[in-house]
Amino acid sequence: PVVLSQTKFVHRDSLKYPFEERGLQFGDGVYEVIRIYQGEYYLLEEHVDRLFRSLKAIKIKIPYSKVEITNLLLDLLKRNKVTEDGKVYLQVTRGSAARDHAFPEHTTANIYAYITKQHRNIENIQHGVCAITQADIRWEKCFIKSLNLLPNVMAKQVAKEAGCYEAILHKNGRVTECSSSNVYLVKDGSIYTHPTTENILHGCVRMAVERFVKNLEIPFIEKAFTLDDIDEADELFLTSSTSEVLPIIQVDGKMIADGQPGPISNKLQKAYEQDANIHTEV
Ligand code: PLP
């Protein structure tokens, strides 16, 4: 595997991360995780667009256009001779400088990207996963895909210790999203999910789902559902680049409906596979 560092391609093991790197010391940067199926990026344009939105929001300037970043990512894929399923992690930080909270004056952004293998978790998709609920204690700009992930890390660990896959986050009982995915509730044939305000990340898979529901003529209502609504839900599911469209069959130890993945979650997963041109059987 090779790493993209500015315009250099080097082996990832030879990369030295400076101690006074603002990503390391302040979490002063943003990132993207882009899925690769059979050696091709999925939703690349959506991810690059979101990267630039995040960069603008935290005032990091990079000497590349969207087209140039896209071409560098495509080049990275080619150089790694990727033909299987995987993902790229791309990180942009404000750069390296003597430690000071305020932006350094003469520092350029550091850009890193590397590719790893990522197999599809077909068992989870087929059988669904369980989740717990947690208060959303994050800041008010969650639309930025920031490197500051401590609340997400803490929430995911609580989920893991409960033997669950995800933590569903809520503000005063209104569900925002999960620790590393977007979440949706199905009731009487309609999908409900938090609107894309500054309080959640606008997921690239969610953008794809917004396309799928139009074709499938499934009502998509951008209105936060509540913890009480979960008790009455017909289906619950989450989306992310690593999880795809994943049914949630149990929340805080209580089954959702009959505890089986529901028809709308299944339809959207099928639509996802078609859209991503995936041939693996589920
Ligand atoms: N919400 C959060 C907090 C995330 O970290 C992620 C992805 O990592 C998502 C939502 C889903 O985003 P995407 O569909 O772009 O992977």
Report the CATH number at residue 231.
3.20.10.10
> Distance, CA 144 to ligand 1 centroid (Å)?
11
Do 43 and 92 fall within a single domain?
yes
205 lines ligand 1 (CB under 6 A): yes
Q: How far is CA 26 from CA 40, 154, 245, 270, in A?
A: 33, 18, 33, 40
Q: Give, in order, the Cα–Cα distances in Å from 258 to each of 83, 163, 226, 232, 248.
A: 39, 20, 20, 11, 12
CATH code at position 99: 3.30.470.10
Where among 89, 117, 145 does a domain terminate?
Answer: 117
Judgement on whether residues 32 and 138 belong to the same structural domain of the protein: no
Buried b vs exposed e over 116-135: b needs ≥16 C-beta within 10 Å? Answer: eebebeeeebeebbbbbbbe
Contact criterion met (CB below 8 Å) for 89 and 114: yes
- Which of 99, 117, 135 represents a domain boundary (last residue)? 117
Report the nearest-CA residue for atom 9 of ligand 1: 181
Contact 256/271 with Cβ under 8 angstroms? no
User: Does residue 280 sit within a domain?
Assistant: no
In single-letter form, the type of residue at position 138 comes to R
Q: Which of 32, 181, 206 to mutate to test the pocket of ligand 1 (most atoms within 8 A of CB)?
A: 181
Q: For ligand 1, say whether the CB of 241 is within 6 Å of any of its atoms.
A: yes
The answer on 17 and 92 residing in a single domain is yes
Asked whether residue 27 falls in the same domain as residue 135, the answer is no
| pLDDT averages per 10-residue partition of the chain, 282 residues | 63 88 97 97 98 98 95 95 96 96 94 95 97 98 98 98 98 98 98 98 98 98 98 98 98 98 98 92 56
**189 & 113 share domain:** no
Residue 83 lies in a domain: yes
Backbone angles phi, psi at 174, to 5 degrees: -95, 125
Q: Could you identify the atom of ligand 1 that is nearest to the CA of residue 205?
A: 14
**What is the interface pTM, i.e. ipTM, of the complex?**
0.99
Supply the residue whose CA is at minimum distance from atom 8 of ligand 1.
Answer: 180
- Residues marked active site are found at 145
Q: Is the CB of 182 under 6 A from ligand 1?
A: yes
Q: How far is Cα 235 from Cα 172, in angstroms, rounded to an integer?
A: 22
67 and 161 housed in the same domain: no
What integer pLDDT is reported at residue 17 of this predicted model?
83
Q: Is residue 253 part of a domain?
A: yes
- Given a contact cutoff of 8 angstroms between Cβ atoms, the answer to whether 155 and 170 are in contact is no
Ligand 1 atom closest to the CA of 179, numbered from 1: 3
Same domain, 113 and 126: no
- Eight-state DSSP code of residue 52: H
Q: Are residues 89 and 162 in the same domain?
A: no
- Whether 201 and 256 share a structural domain: yes
Are 140 and 263 contained in the same domain? yes
Q: Are residues 126 and 264 in the same domain?
A: yes
Full domain range(s) for residue 68: 2-117
Q: What is the DSSP letter of 162?
A: T
Q: Is the CB of 201 under 6 A from ligand 1?
A: yes
Residues 61 and 132 in one domain: no
Q: How far is the CA of 41 from the centre of ligand 1 (A)?
A: 16
